[in-house]
């Protein structure tokens, strides 16, 4: 079956979204969605051997394989279905149809599980619908997949607010400190820090070891994923080898923003040593 929609079709609908013409965009997106779901039903059914995704780039594909440990063969679909569902969700939010927005964002995450912005947007919809447990679970799921420090900071800020609501100021302080390291100027980070200072000023005296220990007890990672940083640096190396300096710089900057320059330097050294060993073994 031939692909019924293209990325250009979705981009065209998005021009109406950008212009604020929700009605026209909605009509277009609904038609595209109908066509896409017919195609998905015919051509994109997962099996024990194959799974279909609409990853944006080679990094997301590599990161999925490393983080999710999915042994199946990954097939790229011919159109960004994740983006289509995200656009549909946006329209639904504008129309205050939050349950349909939730369902659309669930599909956006399904088609691109490495796009953490979808997860965080979905978390906010669950929160609006009163499902705080799912809001927290989705926020936590971002931490092992985030490839941008600001995204990880948003997840930590969400969890920090939850811990304050649960009267666990120590864990909230740990989340706040991690959010500050990653994105100190982000509005959610600032809001969490302000709330802590007003409601629990005493935790400012707690040591990092104490507050991070509390997070570990609660099952919250105390740093973004090193596996994600490794994938960023591998892709940076590949981009540099291909002569794409801008892409290499972007991937490296994202890795630095996640885990810091010192840790990145150590990972780069490790990756180079592994490449050298692999080259030696091949000779």
Q: How confident is the model at residue 177 (pLDDT cuts 50, 70, 90)?
A: very high
> How high is the mean pLDDT of the chain?
94
Q: What is the dihedral of CA 179, 136, 89, 44, to 10 degrees?
A: 110
> Cα angle at 212 between 174 and 203, to 5 degrees?
45
Residue 149 has pLDDT above 60, yes or no: yes
CA distances from 245 to 149, 263, 265, 266 (A): 21, 21, 18, 21
Instruction: Find, among 272, 238, 242, the residue nearest to 280 by Cα.
Output: 272
Q: What is the pLDDT of residue 3?
A: 86
Q: Are the C-beta atoms of 67 and 225 separated by less than 8 Å?
A: yes
DSSP 57-124: SHHHHHHHHHHH---SEEEE-SS-HHHHHHHHHHHHHHTT-HHHHHHHHHHHHHH-TT-HHHHHHHHH
Q: What residues have CB less than 8 Å from 158, skipping those under 6 apart? A: 120, 123, 135, 136, 139, 188
Q: What is the pLDDT of residue 204?
A: 95
Alpha-carbon span 178 to 191, nearest angstrom: 14
CA distances from 277 to 179, 226, 268, 274 (A): 37, 21, 14, 5
Q: Are the C-beta atoms of 239 and 251 separated by less than 8 Å?
A: yes
Percent of the chain with pLDDT over 70: 98
Q: What is the pLDDT of residue 274?
A: 77
Residue 115 has pLDDT above 90, yes or no: yes
Q: Mean of the pLDDT values across residues 116-144?
A: 97
Half-sphere exposure of 272 (CA within 13 A, CB side): 9
Q: What is the pLDDT of residue 117?
A: 97
Q: Mean of the pLDDT values across residues 188-200?
A: 97
Q: How confident is the model at residue 281 (pLDDT cuts 50, 70, 90)?
A: low
Q: Are the C-beta atoms of 229 and 59 separated by less than 8 Å?
A: no
pLDDT tens digits along 234-266:
999 999 999 999 999 999 999 999 999 999 999
pLDDT tens digits along 27-54:
999 999 999 999 999 999 999 999 999 9
Q: What is the pLDDT of residue 112?
A: 98
Q: How confident is the model at residue 270 (pLDDT cuts 50, 70, 90)?
A: confident
């Amino acid at each position: 079956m031939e692909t019924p929609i293209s990325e250009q079709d979705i981009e065209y609908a998005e021009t109406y979204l950008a212009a604020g013409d929700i009605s026209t965009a909605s009509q277009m997106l609904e038609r595209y969605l109908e066509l896409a779901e017919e195609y998905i039903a015919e051509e994109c059914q997962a099996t024990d051997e194959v799974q279909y995704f609409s990853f944006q780039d080679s990094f997301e594909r590599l990161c999925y394989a490393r983080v999710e440990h999915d042994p199946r063969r990954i097939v790229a679909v011919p159109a960004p279905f994740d983006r289509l569902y995200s656009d549909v969700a946006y329209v639904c939010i504008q129309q205050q149809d939050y349950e349909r927005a939730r369902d659309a964002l669930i599909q956006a995450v399904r088609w691109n599980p490495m796009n953490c912005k979808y997860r965080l947007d979905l978390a906010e919809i669950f929160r609006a619908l009163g499902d705080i447990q799912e809001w927290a679970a989705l926020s936590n799921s971002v931490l092992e997949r985030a490839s941008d420090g600001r995204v990880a900071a948003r997840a930590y800020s969400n969890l920090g607010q939850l811990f304050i609501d649960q009267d666990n100021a120590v864990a909230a302080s740990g989340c706040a400190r991690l959010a500050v390291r990653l994105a100190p100027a982000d509005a959610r980070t600032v809001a969490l820090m302000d709330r802590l200072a007003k409601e629990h000023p005493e935790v400012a005296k707690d040591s990092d070891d104490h507050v991070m220990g509390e997070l570990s007890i609660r099952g919250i990672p105390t740093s973004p994923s090193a596996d994600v940083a490794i994938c960023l640096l591998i892709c940076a190396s590949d981009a540099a080898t291909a002569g794409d300096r801008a892409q290499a710089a972007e991937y490296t900057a994202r890795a630095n923003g996640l885990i810091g320059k010192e840790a990145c330097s150590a990972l780069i050294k490790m990756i180079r040593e592994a490449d050298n060993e692999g080259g030696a073994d091949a000779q």
